[in-house]
């Protein structure tokens, strides 16, 4: 169920949470690089959140789709449960702080993931377990600058290049964030390894109403060394700041 791979996520499903900002769809004045990065980081975040997500995973050898239900609260608590397919229904992941537990209903076991498993894939996707616990913000962990501001492929964009700070606990050698020049919504994020080779590409699509604002409703992650593989996340429902009990984020709730 867990397969080794490389990836982010800065966003699996509002897992890291802070107050969600308002996103204007009108032309804004030029933003600083930090303001751009903060907007991207805060895109799916609220004090709490509830969502339903469809995830499609495609590899060289197989393809499958999952329907997920997810809750988050604060900056360090989240619960994800698989609703379908039937053979995996009830499989769940709990994050509390920097710890992750998986519940496997077929064997009725709760497994706490060791630190050695943090770089492994979550449910065979191109998201890692580490993506689920990451609380970092690009504006805090990277030195950043605007490296392009103009038109490419008939679209006005801004490109922000981020180089990690020496003390930052990040795995990337460089991150390049490209946003729409009008809305400042993200278009792509390119992740480079420590040797400055492109490792993966996250693309944002299908901008429309989601959680009360216009946001990308679909994201796709593609490994740079294999464009035939991908993980696509589609938000079918997203609610910010619902009233969620602290008791939901417990081992007992994980098994229900």
Tokens of 64: 């499958």
Domain boundaries, position 69: 33-240
User: Quick check: is 18 in a domain?
Assistant: no
Question: Is 235 domain-assigned?
Answer: yes
Q: What is the DSSP letter of 221?
A: E
Distances (CA, A) of 225 to 17, 22, 117: 31, 36, 22
* 245: in domain: no
Q: Does residue 4 lie in a domain region? A: no
Would 193 be classed as within a structural domain?
yes
What pTM was estimated for this model as a whole?
0.81
Residue-by-residue pLDDT tens, the chain, 256 positions: 433 322 333 344 433 443 444 444 434 468 999 999 999 988 877 789 999 999 999 999 999 999 999 999 988 899 999 999 999 999 999 999 888 999 999 999 999 988 778 778 888 898 877 776 666 789 999 999 999 999 999 999 999 999 999 988 888 899 999 999 999 999 999 999 999 999 999 999 999 999 888 999 999 999 999 999 999 999 999 999 999 999 999 999 998 8
Report if residue 16 sits inside a domain: no
DSSP classification of residue 248? G
Work out the angle at residue 88's Cα, subtended by the Cα atoms of residues 84 and 92, and round it to the nearest 5 degrees: 95
Q: Where are the alpha helices (DSSP H) in 31-80?
A: 33-41
71 in a domain, yes or no?
yes
DSSP result, 161-217: EEEE-TT-----SEEEEEEETTT--EEEEEEE-TTS-EEEEEEEEEEEEETTEEEEE
Domain CATH number, residue 103: 2.50.20.10
12 in a structural domain? no
Number of domains in the chain: 1
């Amino acid at each position: 169920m867990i397969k080794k791979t490389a990836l982010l996520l800065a966003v699996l499903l509002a897992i890291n949470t802070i107050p969600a900002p308002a996103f204007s769809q009108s032309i804004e004045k030029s933003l600083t690089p930090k303001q751009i990065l903060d907007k991207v980081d805060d895109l799916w975040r609220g004090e709490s959140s509830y969502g339903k997500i469809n995830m499609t995973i495609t590899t060289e050898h197989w393809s499958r789709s999952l329907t997920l239900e997810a809750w988050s609260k604060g900056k360090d608590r989240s619960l994800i449960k698989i609703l379908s397919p039937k053979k995996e229904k009830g499989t769940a992941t709990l994050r509390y702080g920097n710890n992750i537990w998986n519940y496997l209903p077929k064997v009725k076991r709760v497994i706490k993931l060791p630190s050695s498993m943090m770089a492994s894939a979550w449910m065979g996707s191109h998201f890692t377990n580490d993506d689920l616990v990451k609380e970092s913000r690009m504006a805090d962990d990277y030195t950043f600058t605007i490296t392009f501001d103009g038109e490419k492929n008939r679209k006005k964009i801004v490109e922000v290049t981020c180089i990690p700070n020496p003390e930052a606990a990040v795995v990337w050698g460089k991150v390049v964030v490209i946003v729409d020049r009008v809305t400042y919504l993200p278009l792509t994020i390119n992740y480079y390894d420590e040797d400055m080779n492109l490792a993966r590409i996250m693309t944002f699509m299908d901008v429309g109403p989601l959680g009360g604002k216009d946001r990308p409703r679909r994201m796709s992650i593609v490994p740079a060394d294999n464009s035939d593989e991908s993980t696509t996340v589609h938000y079918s429902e997203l609610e910010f700041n619902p009233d969620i009990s602290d008791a939901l984020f417990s081992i007992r709730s994980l098994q229900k």
